[in-house]
Amino acid sequence: MNIKTNITLEDYTAFVKHVARSVSVTDGDRLVRMFIAVAFGLGIGFVVSLFNISWKPTILAAMVCGALGGGFLLMVAVSSATRKQLRRMRPAEDGYVLGSQETSIEEAGIRQQSSRHQSFFQWSLVRGIKITDQHIFVMVDRTAGIILPKPAFSSDTELQQFVSELERHSGKRRT
């Protein structure tokens, strides 16, 4: 079974967002970040309190504000760095990710090809099949996969047949 696609930057962006959600920060990572943010804020509050002679409620307020402010600044810095990184990770217009491609299901695996590349993924590489409102993502690694926009399928029946073949050959179920 063959599907011809035209992968756009929007398709790629949807894939990157899917990958980012699937490898999201764990609760332990969040706890460490929060601890660092609070420690940073307390440090700011402590430095501010050094300029006062006696311990007053204003010092405690300065420490709390420092902790909250430091946490907020850390979160903003991490968030903006991530957005900048995502912008820099865009594929080249003349590379192999964007543009016309053909994806074929074969007995030994999935073949994907364009005028610039040809890739073959054995069924054992398929880690999962994710179906969203607009795409099918066949994950072949934690951060790599095949992007199949739903409009590439001529009908819902063809889409369902394609996914059923993926499931049958890979042994994975759609999510």
Q: Domains in the chain, please, with CATH? A: 2-8+94-170 (2.30.29.30), 19-88 (no CATH)
Residue-level pLDDT at 120: 97
Please give the mean pLDDT across all residues of the chain: 82
pLDDT in tens, 107-158: 999 999 999 999 999 999 999 999 999 999 999 998 899 999 999 999 999 9
Q: Cβ neighbours of residue 31 under 8 Å, at least 6 residues apart?
A: none
Whether the pLDDT of residue 33 is over 90: the answer is no
Q: Is 18 exposed, middle or buried (0-12, 13-18, 19+ CB in 10 A)?
A: middle
Query: Which of 19, 1, 3 is CA-nearest to residue 149?
Result: 3
Q: Per the confidence metrics, is the pTM higher than 0.75?
A: no
pLDDT, average across residues 91-102? 88
